[in-house]
Every structure is written in C-alpha cells, then in structure tokens.
Structure 1
Amino acid sequence: MTDVVVVGAGQAGAALAARLRALGAAGRITLIGEEPLPPYQRPPLSKAYLLGEMGADRLTLRADGFWADQGIDLRTGARVTAIDRAARIVRIGDEALRYDALALTTGSVARRLPSPLSGVFAVRSKADVDALRPHVVAGARMVIVGGGYIGLEAAAVAAQLGLEVTVIEAAPRILARVAGEPTAAFFRDLHRAHGVRLLEGTPLAGLEGTERVQAAVLADGRRIPCDLVVAGIGVDPATALAEAAGLAIHNGIAVDARGRTSDPHIWAAGDCTSFPHDGGRIRLESVPHAIEHAEAVAANILGADTDYRARPWFWSDQYDVKLQIAGLNTGHDRVVTRQDGGTSFWHFAGQRLLAVDAAGDARAYMTGKRLIEAGRSPTPEAVATAAHLKDLL
C-alpha cells in the first residue's frame, strides 16, 4: 500500500486526493490545506459570490461528509512547515507525517499592493472577498489595479452594483497576457459601455491616504480619488515549500511529463507547476488544467506511467458575456473574426489554428476546442467564409 500526503487543498489537491481513491488506492491519503475551510471553488469569488448571487454553501467542491466517507484525512487550517526528503516526512508544527508519495498542489499566491493603508484588497481567497464585499456599495469609488481576468471581473461586478470604477493597467492594453488584441478590444468596448473608466499603459506610482486609502497616484502624476482599491495584478506559483526542500524550480515546481519532481517520491500538479509542452515548458493557471493535471498525476502515482497532455482552455464571466478560450494564441500571425450570434476570434500561425476566443458564443468555442484537440486546422479562409460553424468540422 502507498501512503500519500497531498499538500494544498485547492482544486488540484481535492481532485488528486479524490482520484487516488477512485482509482482504488488502498493506503492512507491525507489532504492538507492552510485555509480553515474544506476545498472550495475560487472562480466564483470574483463573479457570482462577490455579486451576491452565490452563497458560501455553493462554493464547496464536495458535499459534507465526502472526505470522511472516502477515507481521506482532510486537515484544514494546517500548514506544512518543512519536507524532510531523506526521511520522507512532512512537518505540521510538531507533528511528523510520513509519506510514500508526496503530492504538492500548493497553487499560486496573489500579488498584493505593498501598502499599509486600509481599504486595499486582493481577490484570491474567500477571506479576501469576505473582507471586500461590505465595501462594494453603490456610489463608492473603486480603483482596480490590473486589467486581467480578475480585475475585469471585479470591475464588471462593481459597475453592476453602481460603483464608480476605474481600471488601471500598466501594460499597453488590458488582457495582454491572456487574450489577443481583438478580444481585448471587444471587452474594452463592453466595459466602457457600462461606464467603467479604463486607463491602459498607465502604471501605478503609489497610494495616498492617512489610515485609509484616499487616492491612487499614477506614474504620470495624475491622482484618482477613491474609497477602495482592488489589486488584480496576477499571481505567483506557490513554490516556497518546494524551494526549501531543494526541488528544481523553473517558473513553478518543475515536473516531468508524468508530474514527478526532481525527487522521485515527490509529485506536483496544478498552478504551482511547470511541465513539458510543445518542446518547451509551460505553466498554466486554470481550473480545467488543475483538475486534469491532478487526476493524471494521481494515476501516475499508482503506476499508470502516462504522459500528461495539456488541453488549455479558460473562461471568464463579465456582465452577461461569457468569454471562453480554447488553445493558446502564442505565435499567431493572423486573426479571423466571426459573428454567429456571439463573436469569436480565430488565431492562426500560418495555416495552423492555435486558439479560439469566443465571446458569448459557446458553439464557436466548442467547435474550436474540438478542432484544436484533434489537431485539425481549417484554413483561415474557410473560417472566414463558412456559412455555419458545423461546416468547419
């Protein structure tokens, strides 16, 4: 029997532990999380939960009693302080917990604005959003630093609730790291139509206030009065524990195609990892990847010896528009736009379809996803002229 310790009780950790048992693992499984809550979903935090449309009870990933019923020892509010690789032990305070296989699913850590002022928030954990929610009231002036998914989702919620919203983005455009220029233009127009002020190519110099934030100061000297500030400036892989244990780090915990780290008894999955992909290494931040990678690693811990093949896809909800992205547009040299009820942007490198960004068009997303996963590429001309999406299949 193999005793497995899983460190990190987010989406990846929960999926890995559950999959181990579903695959017939007979040994002890321990799932350890720092937050004092059972595993829960993070994506709704900046959307339905912040908006007040989803209660805390709907955030949890599994029903009450699931972990005990599966014979999984779930430990919440517990922090692993060290890994003893030679003895195969993790330390939780004074306790030493032995493992045959250790899985690190530590996720990522939100970057926070270095300010001592109150009224400055991040959106990563339920505790973060619980602290923010009482201040999201009609008429309040909110400045959001960062025009990625989290920042724009928070902006959409705040605008819907009647706040005066300004988004500051240091990069030349919003969604610079996660979506193409046409997609950014679509959402730029959408936010402006809802009264959101977008300042792109505008770095933040600092925050002003006495005890509470009163203004955001821009690098060009402009001052934006505000009642609260939300940081949506990205995340970093949570690698501190792995680094302290001497594991290889390359933009995350470096794992091979099967999820094994530089220590043969330690595995890793999800946002905290970088893994082989298309001849290089990549790190993905998405729920689908976290689940699929974790389940693949669970199988490999039990001896499947199967390479993980990522199928990148992402989504974001802003106002009444769902953005769904299949694939990665890195290296594209052409974009074809389609209008099929919603709007979709098809990214090509030469004749190869790389990614599809679908805004309010689930059929375009599913069509693009099927094509990309099958390694099939309609020509850009075919995408531009097809009367119906089904013709592309």
Structure 2
Amino acid sequence: MNNINHLSDFTILENVWNYVSIFIVFFIGLFLIFFSEKIFDTTKVRVCSLYVWHTILCSIFIFTTSKIGGDAIFYYTASLIHEREFSFGTTATLYFTTIFTRGFGLTYISTFMVFNIIGTYGLLALDASLRHATFDKSKYIKLLALFTVLMPSLSYWSSGIGKDAIQFFGTCFLLWSSINFKKRNIIFLISLIIIFTTRPHIGGIAIISLFLSLWFISSLSLKKKILYLIITFVPLIFLLPTVLDSVGFSKNYDYSLANLFTFIKLRQTYTMIGGSSVDIGEMNFIYQLFTYLFRPLPYETHNTLAFLSSLDNLFLLSIFIITILSIIFVKREKFLLNHHTENRWFLLIFSLVGLSILSYTTANFGISARQKWMVMPILLYFCFQCMRVK
C-alpha cells in the first residue's frame, strides 16, 4: 500500500462546514444507535454509552494519525482522487470511502466519524454476544465481559478510516448472527459479503468454514446438507481466484498446493518491517499463536502506543488463563458444539483456521494489533462460554 502518512497536503478544519459536518455525522450516529437497543436486547443508556466511549477512542485515533501518520490518511486522500476499476479489498474500501468524501463532501474528521459509527455497531454486536455467553454466569464474569468490551485498543482500531472498522463490524455481526443462526441467517449472509468485499481471503476462509460446518450440524437432514453444500461450494469455486489474487498469489505463482505453501511461508517476510517486527519463522506453531494474540507484552514495548496496547494484551492473556484454569479445575456442564440455535461449528472452524493462517504469516506487532480483531471476538465468545469461577 502506498501510504500517505502525513496531513501536509490538506487542511483538516479550513471552514465552517468542516466543523458542522463533524457534529452532523456524530448526531446521526447517536440517533441510529439510540434506537438500536431492541435489536441487541439491551438499554438505551448502554448503547449510547458505548457509542460515546467508542467516539472518545476515535478522537484519540484521529489525533495520533495527524501526528504520526497511518493508513487512515491514505484511504482519505486516495478516495479524493482515485479513478480505479472496482475490485475487492483496498479498492472496494476506497469506493466506500468516496461515497462520503466526494459524494457528501465530508472532511477527514467527519469521514472518521462515519467509520466510528460502523465500528460502534460492531462493538454493540460483540457486547450482545458476550452478554449472551455470560447470562447464566456470576456477576464477576459479567463484569469481566463488560471490561472486555471496553478495552481501549478494541475501540481504537475499529474506529479508523479503512478496512479494520468494516472488518470488525462484519466479524462481530457474523458472531452475533451465528448465535441465533436460523433467525439471523440473512444478517449472517450480509456479514459474509461485507467481509469478503473488504478482505477476500478472510471471506474465503469464512465460506470454507461454513461449508465444513454443515457436515457437523446434527440437526440437518442429509438432503438439506447436500443442498446447502452445493449452495456454498459452487460460489466458492468462482470466488477462489479472487481470493488468491487479493493476497498476490495468482500474479506470481502457478496454482498448486506446493506453491501455495511456499507463498504462505513467503508472506512471513512481507510483514517483517519496522521496529515492531519479530522473526516468527524460527518459532514453533504454539509460540506463533501466542505472539499473534498476546504480544507485545509490557516489557517488549518501545513507545507509548505500543505500551498501552500491551496492557490490553495482558488483559486478554488473563482472560485466556482464567478460561483454561476454569476448564481444568471448575466443574461445569459439558460444552456442546452441536447446538439447536447456534452454529458453533462454523465459529470454531472459522476462528481456528483464520487464527492459524494469520499467526503463521504476520510478523509485525502493529499489524497483529489491528488484524487479530478479525478472529478475537469469536475466541472471546468461546472463552466466556467456557468460563466458570468458584
């Protein structure tokens, strides 16, 4: 990505419209969020509070990008001038951003606020999912779930202009719709389309996961399984070249399983840039997973932003440790993957396959801090499902 990482080429607040547009977008978001409490089975106070919290972190993100740069500036500036043919991934995100920058004349900050609304809806879906996972748990676990939703890095990375806010929205709605799969299958499909449009390789993993999960759902008859498998498999055949092309595979390699593994190995070196990169090639698989999910830890940081992110990593690590200890030492009901309303098989396959590939190919802490939220919401859902305390 040709990253324009400075703001010297344009002025953020140059006229009255720049100020007015910020408040217009904010209050449109507040209006939409205010009437969302029934959708997520919660209160107006809770949804509005989460919106305000997310907006605070969005404001911090705006400030940091104005000082140190970032992909958000690229997406904003490129959306003002781009004349590309439509394609999935970065270009699709630019097309979406153009609706607000060139279509409605929104400024840098007000465009940020649009993505802030998108990220907030993802946060509301995650909050609803974790409340579902903890409805029969102790007040301590419910409080821990709330603290999880309020993690600063979660709202920070899901509020910026670019793919991350849209992807976070898609992942969280994919999770939320899977909890009541029969009633929310349309939302599930829309979420799948959003994810594929934004990051085709993650969308491809989701489609394959859905394809595989159908084999394990015991409530489906054989005829329905065959029908759904055909419906899932046929589009996958046509979309596979797009998925591979989105990560640069088809441009440089012939289609073969051996070349695919070679390319995945090579992807490790693509992200080994900057001071926050590590050599994951020499790590075993478990340590690669640990590195992707929980590093950097506080003692590994080199600046303020990395240190603050490491505190959230420490909190996430604590959640996983509590879950593991709970599974080992606390008596509980058996956790069933075949559930009468939830598609837990899909969530499990998607999160584990996605995590495995991402952890194997991402060697940069800055990238993993943003992109792990493509699978982390689902992993957290499973953590709170299995968590018990004495």
User: Is the TM value for this pair above 0.5?
Assistant: no
More strand by share: 1
> What TM-score results when the alignment is normalised by the length of structure 2?
0.26
TM-score of the two chains, using structure 1 as the length reference: 0.26
Greater relative CO (CA pairs within 8 A, separation 6+): 2
Q: Say which structure is richer in helix.
A: 2
